[in-house]
Structure 1
Amino acid sequence: MKNLKSLTTVALLTGTLAMTGCMDDLDPIEYPDAGYISIYNGAPSSPAVIIYADQNQVNNFPLKYAEVLSYSNFYPGDRLFKFSESNSVTSLLEKEFEIKVDSVYSMFMVENAGELDAVLVDDDWSEPNADEAQIRMINLSPDAGEVSLLIDDNETAFFSDLAFKFYSEFESLDKDTYNLKVVSSTGKTLATATNLELKGNRVYTLVVRGFEVTTENPKKLDLQLLTNYIDY
């Protein structure tokens, strides 16, 4: 489980929390109640989007496909997220999520058969150490079916049978350089990443994104590594 140190670091990384000055060393730092969310555009055919939480605009610049917004703080409770094209009053997607106090999430925009959706995922990692990385995988490819991850020459899948919009838990790996291969349920190689360095004190998400069949959409299936957290 994430401890207070992790949550505090995430809060500081947002750069948006107000802090009162002139406190002596023994006074605790009081943060307003909040949950923390990063947002990733994993919808291959979608335009760049402006995102709102209720009526509050989240991003100043449109979020393009395969781009991510770093963690920001959000008031707890039920929040209606709206995704719109820049300079448009029409929502492409509206979806409500419950945000809990002192919780950390990743939100992933996804697409299937031209329909947009969003998935909110708990970012529940252990406190990292200098010798290991933590990594999970999420399948955002709408047409790849169930996918598994093979590492180096190991024939046993590290993550197995992740369907569209499904994700693994965070797992630990020794810090090292790895060759990754994502395969279909039939064993077909869908995407690879060679000489990928995973560093200690890091928490990562491996995103499977894009289309296996690119007849109508040129954004082919590939892999993207996101960094959720660094323990400085």
Structure 2
Amino acid sequence: MKFSIKRKIFAAVITLSLLSLGLVSCSKLDNDYQPIEVSGLNIIQASPTLELLDVYVDNTRANNSDFEFGNKIGYLSAYAGSRAFNVTKKGSATSLKSLQFTLKPQAGYSLFLVNTLANIEFLMLEDNLEKPAAGKAKVRFVNLSPDGGPLSLNVNGAATDIVTNKAFKEYSDFIVIDAAASANFNIKNATNNNIETTLSSVKVEEGKIYTIYAKGLKANNDDTRFSAKLFVH
């Protein structure tokens, strides 16, 4: 979904790829000058590991501090076009996984690091940033738990789940929901309908756009255990 780069989502801007592409001198501007086209980029660390990671866009490191499980960077401003993404262990020059992806100008994306460290991979999703109608918000659900099985998303114990039966790495569209002072988002086992975890007492604000993702491993008991997280676009 296209959106204006003047919106707040581009307030956190880093100069991704500026070293390779160069800056345009004001003295060289003329009538033929074409504005630089950019995209918005979230990067989310959803790989269940206690290792600290570094993420690179082309040759520029995107994270300015330790990037640990459950962290998010963004929205960053990245040049549109073909970009190379790499993830490494903190301080390492050895790529664990790479991705070549073409970013569309004026589009928003969320790039997730997913799966266990030994099998780490990227999941790039385009974000629909069209503002919801008055009194409404939007939410997307992503299943990023490698051993969580198929999952559904339920709001406030309603009889009907708003997202159903999403396997690992599967995701929903953005779904319109009512704004609310407090809402409970239940992540349910799609096979037996049991609630696996809940995001409780979430304020759902009018006009806001959210992503909820299941993360972690049911087999673990440390900080990488199964849980869910929400972020605002």
Q: TM-score, normalised by structure 2?
A: 0.84
Q: Does 1:13 align with 2:17?
A: no
| CA spacing shift, 1:52–1:153, aligned 2, 3 Å | closer
- 1:37 maps to 2:38: no
- The alpha carbon displacement at 1:46 in A equals 5.3
Q: 2:169 aligns with which of 153, 165, 168?
A: 165
Q: Which runs of 5+ in 2 are unaligned?
A: 16-22, 27-33
**Equivalent residues in 2 for 1:68-217 (5 A)?**
68-112=72-116, 114-129=118-133, 131-176=135-180, 177-186=182-191, 187-214=193-220
Q: Distance in 2 between matches of 1:103 and 1:167?
A: 19
Give the corresponding residue for 1:226.
231
RMSD, aligned α-carbons? 2.5
SS state of the match for residue 129, structure 2?
Answer: coil
Aligned residue-pair number: 217
Change (3 A) 1:212 1:155: farther
Percent identity reads 24
Shift of 1:190: 1.1
Deviation at 1:194, TM superposition (A): 2.1
Deviation at 1:166, TM superposition (A): 1.2
CA shift, 1:156, in A, is 0.9
The residue type paired with residue 9 of structure 1 is R
Give the Å deviation of 1:10.
4.7
Structure 1 153/188 Cα, relative in aligned 2: closer, same or farther at 3 Å? Answer: closer
Q: 1:211 is aligned with what amino acid?
A: L
2:18 aligned residue: none
Equivalent AA in structure 2 for residue 50 of structure 1: D
Asked whether the equivalents of residues 38 and 77 of structure 2 are also in contact (C-alpha less than 8 Å), the reply is yes
List 4+ stretches of structure 1 deviating above 4 A: none
One-letter code aligned to 1:227: V
**Alignment equivalent of 1:64, drawn from 53, 68, 71:** 68
Letter in 2 for 1:192: T
